[in-house]
Amino acid sequence: MIRLRLEQRATTPAWFYVVLPVAAILATLVLCAGLVVLAGGDVLEAYGTLFLSPVASRFALVETAVKAAPLIFTGLAVAIAFRAKFWNIGGEGQLLMGAMAAAFIGGRTSLPEASLIPLMILAGALAGGLWAMVPALLRTRYRVDEVVVSLLLNFIVFYGMMALLDGVWKDPLSGYPDSPDIREEAGFPILVPRTRLHLGVGLALLAAPLVFVLMRKTVLGFAIRAVGENAQAAAYAGFSTARVTMATALLSGAMAGLAGVGEVGGLHYQVMAGISPGYGYTGIVIAMLAGLNPLGVVPAAFFFAIVITGAEAMSRATGIPVYLSDVIQGTALITMLIALLFTRYRLRLKGVAHG
């Protein structure tokens, strides 16, 4: 009788980290093809529309890049936190905190014009970072599970934001639950004329290599990776695991907060109930697909931006529900987690003798 068993790898080939995400995506598409068939659609036509429509024209490509910007920031937020084994599930709430802080600063008439955009960026990053430090503080001081705390904080922020939008921030003219518009001078510059490609997209693309350098070339980055690999060994080497966890949370939350800043400063110019359709949660899938590599976050974010943007075009062309994009995102997380298993283990055939 032959059995399969998992055997731990002594070393992992470098090419695994490139091939496995691609394999995970292909496996996801194969698994989701069944849903396309059940919906009465043609698999090749549906996938062709899904992946080609977001890059078929200059306008579509720009819109895909705009959609990818907050996903890059939230993906970086998760990649930083998870590298230290700080399980930050609160990117959604931290994004909303950044958005509200940016909207507040952007609407101040007392501030000089030249200071609005820098202060919005700083305030949004700080708001997201401080909010992420709440579960980090509870974990380091009282050993409270950060997964539960960071997740629940998302709902606290959201309903607190809704209270503001239905209260003091409510538009007195339209009656809609939207915050007042930020000042015109606070809007992000447009990088390409007659498009929506704003400064936030450039900041997101710049953030990925900066985070990569920070994680690989600085003492803080080494400390984050050391704590994540072995907290006891890191403490023995002289690192304060509590301080490293707090710094990790601050940096992670700042990235998520910048996603909210970009949505306010570059797209909506106000805070609204639907300012984030779940970017914080999608960031978890993106970071895992990227193998927690900051540079890998960029192509992973663009992949999901294509899926999200192309789902609407696919639905119009084939009649397949747009919710297929949500299924693809969830399935991609599962297949990537399975793929990551094979970076540490290999399958071995083992014969079992009878008698």
Domains of the chain, residue spans: 2-351
Letter for the amino acid at 320? I
Q: What percent of the chain lies above the pLDDT cut of 90? A: 60
Confidence band, pLDDT 50/70/90 cuts, at residue 325: confident
Looking at residue 352, what is its pLDDT?
54
Q: How would you class 46 by CB atoms within 10 Å of its CB: exposed for 0-12, middle for 13-18, buried for 19 or more?
A: buried
- Contact (Cβ atoms closer than 8 angstroms) between residue 169 and residue 275: no
Residue 120's contacts (CB-CB under 8 Å, 6 or more residues apart) are 101, 102, 105, 106, 182, 186, 261, 264, 265
Looking at residue 344, what is its pLDDT?
74
Confidence (pTM): 0.91
Residue 204's contacts (CB-CB under 8 Å, 6 or more residues apart) are 68, 69, 70, 72, 73, 258, 262
| Rg from Cα positions in the chain | 22
Query: Could you count the other beta carbons within 10 Å of the beta carbon of residue 351?
Result: 7
Residue 7's contacts (CB-CB under 8 Å, 6 or more residues apart) are 345, 346, 347, 348
Confidence band, pLDDT 50/70/90 cuts, at residue 318: confident
The pLDDT mean for the chain works out to 90
Q: How would you class 174 by CB atoms within 10 Å of its CB: exposed for 0-12, middle for 13-18, buried for 19 or more?
A: exposed
Looking at residue 333, what is its pLDDT?
82
Please, what CATH class does the domain formed by 2-351 belong to? mainly alpha
345 versus 302: the higher-pLDDT residue is 302
